Amino acid sequence: GAVVSQHPSWVICKSGTSVKIECRSLDFQATTMFWYRQFPKQSLMLMATSNEGSKATYEQGVEKDKFLINHASLTLSTLTVTSAHPEDSSFYICSARIDRPTEAFFGQGTRLTVV
């Protein structure tokens, strides 16, 4: 099946610094990539949807200046958490879709801890 690679799998950073998370589709070209965050014992919360070459569409309540998404190619999307704070500590998961309607292929997730 299709493989989505997310890196890093975990990161600890100091409050006020920025963290970049990469999401790559390894063996297919993803028309759309999604970024989710998931707090413990809660479901996935969609943060934004990105299409290659265009600006990401953010969900209500998600600060686009804080969570920068770049979808530079059909195989790579990045999420940068700028000026991270402890409340940004969460599990961030990307997923990619080849076309609609198909399943979403998920990356391994990134556990972000801001200290």
Partner 1 sequence: GQNIDQPTEMTATEGAIVQINCTYQTSGFNGLFWYQQHAGEAPTFLSYNVLDGLEEKGRFSSFLSRSKGYSYLLLKELQMKDSASYLCAVMDSNYQLIWGAGTKLIIKP
Question: What's the rounded Cα separation, in Å, for the pair 49 and 95?
Answer: 10
The Cα 105–Cα 3 span in angstroms is 7
CB of 40 to partner 1, least distance (A): 9
The answer to whether 36 and 23 have CB atoms below 8 angstroms apart is: no
Interacting residue with partner 1 among 19, 33, 34, 114 (CB under 8 A): 34
Among 51, 70, 82, 108, binds partner 1 (CB under 8 A): 108
Rounded Cα gap, residues 69 and 49, in angstroms: 9
Q: How many residues does the chain have?
A: 115
Q: List the interface residues with partner 1, window 36-95 (CB under 8 A).
A: 41-44, 46, 49, 91, 93
The distance of closest approach from Cβ of residue 44 to partner 1 in the complex, given in angstroms and rounded to an integer, is 5
Q: Which residues of the chain form contacts with partner 1 (CB under 8 A)?
A: 1, 6, 34, 41-44, 46, 49, 91, 93, 100-101, 103-109, 111
